[in-house]
Structure 1
């Protein structure tokens, strides 16, 4: 029961507000910037997002590790995620302009206000 309670908390508790994300009016400009940085990397634009600081007691787990879970895909260049759907990123490679979350294969443009919280690696992986 404790594990179920912990997993429920991940989705029900939003975390604390952070000052990342661009306005909806700016996101097309950010998509263009992504293409300038790396035209081969796809772009996904998301809103209603949560930045997860992944924690682990395992010394071999890479620290720090960050991922984003977004509940509203606004646009996905490759059509992998439906508009209005949700997505969980792979780990952060770099952050640009405080709104472009770059992973190994994709730029995620974070739109609007988001939140941030700590999530254990085992809990994060239990959902995906």
Structure 2
């Protein structure tokens, strides 16, 4: 788990917006909320069986989750500034930095990493 959270991975780029610009962007783009702006994030491709992949596909989700070490702001106040967050599976990835789950858009700021892990390993992340 330590390697997953802190080890090297494939570099990915999020938006280069400042925190303040991202907050303005989010408020304008998602006026009804349900967004969370994050930094220091990890895109995790889940090792799943064909059956698990099929079950996710039935609900138009992908075997990918996001873990972020740093919440900048959460519109619903589920997490405080600086908290970590683990998402539910990816629904849609858009604009090169919009990681959308079924209920929330996570805006990825700055550099991130892409890694692969089992669902069991990811489930151990609180």
TM over 0.5: yes
TM range (shorter): 0.7 to 0.9
Which residue is equivalent to 1:21? 15
**Structure 1: tracts of 5 or more residues without a match:** 1-6
What's the C-alpha RMSD, in Å, of the aligned pairs?
Answer: 1.8
Q: CA contact under 8 A between 1:30 and 1:109: conserved in structure 2? A: no
Which residue is equivalent to 2:66? 68
1:44 aligns to 2:36 (yes or no): yes
Q: After the TM superposition, which residues 1-128 of structure 1 pair with which residues of structure 2 at under 5 Å, given as runs?
A: 7-24=1-18, 26-31=21-26, 32-35=28-31, 39=32, 42-56=34-48, 58-62=49-53, 64-128=62-126
TM-score by length of 2: 0.82
CA–CA distance in structure 1, aligned partners of residues 8 and 29 of structure 2? 29
Runs of 4+ with >3 A deviation: none
Report deviation, 1:29.
4.9
TM-score by length of 1: 0.81
CA–CA distance in structure 1, aligned partners of residues 68 and 93 of structure 2? 16
Report deviation, 1:47.
0.4
